[in-house]
Amino acid sequence: MRVVDRSIASGTGAWNMASGDWDCELLASAGLEEARFSECVEPTSMLHGLAPSYAAAVGLSQGTPAVVGAADGALAHLGTVGFAERRTSLSAGASITLRLRRAEPRTVRGSEACCYCLADGSWLEGGVAHDGGNTLRWFADNVLGARSEDEKMFDDMNEFARGAAPGASGLYFFPLFGGERCPNYCPDARGAITGLSFNHGRATVSSPL
């Protein structure tokens, strides 16, 4: 039997928040059979014994018990702020995501803000900035002339930024290189660096990024 945690399932767009299971009406309209989808379970559900092929793939003994787990964003939130109320978590990778726990699912009409299951009746509402760490890569490669294998450049950039005053002396950076997805989908949005003056040096230019 194949299972999927509700955290992953709720992010597919084919899941029903009210029933906590696959949306039969939506699947039918797409010509999909619910029987082809895995059973939805809580992220805390136990797997009592990994199948031989899975156990071998990860180097564990056959029959090793395991926890189903959840989506990376859900676990990142759980690991940083737990189930605390009115505390947000921030994940920064290629993109940037901000999340807040809620006791009930909530969607915002006309917005691309996301809401998906965390665990045990808790939900995560949040938004995603399309570009984050990938703009640092662009800046390092195209402005600072870093080689793709030169990861030390990012340590240098952090060191430069530590020498800048808060606010980067009025310098602003809008990392909309690939458009934006939240709060509203805008694929034509473009990035900008504004406020540059002769007072800005390497430290302040690195700081707002």
* In a shared domain, residues 161 and 123: no
Could you tell me if 192 and 171 are in contact, meaning their C-beta atoms sit under 8 angstroms apart? no
Instruction: Tell me the pairing of strands 172-174 and 21-22.
Output: unpaired
* In a shared domain, residues 38 and 61: yes
Per-residue pLDDT of 123-182, as tens digits, reads 999 999 989 888 888 888 888 777 766 778 888 888 888 888 888 888 898 989 999 988
Q: Say which CATH number the domain at 178 has.
A: 3.30.420.40
Answer with the one of 87, 109, 129 that is the final residue of a domain.
129
Per-residue pLDDT of 20-56, as tens digits, reads 899 999 999 999 999 999 999 999 999 888 888 888 8
Which token pair is 53?
């092929």
Which residues form the domain of 55? 3-129
* In a shared domain, residues 88 and 191: no
Task: Give the pTM.
Answer: 0.77
Name the domain count of the chain: 2
* In a shared domain, residues 156 and 91: no
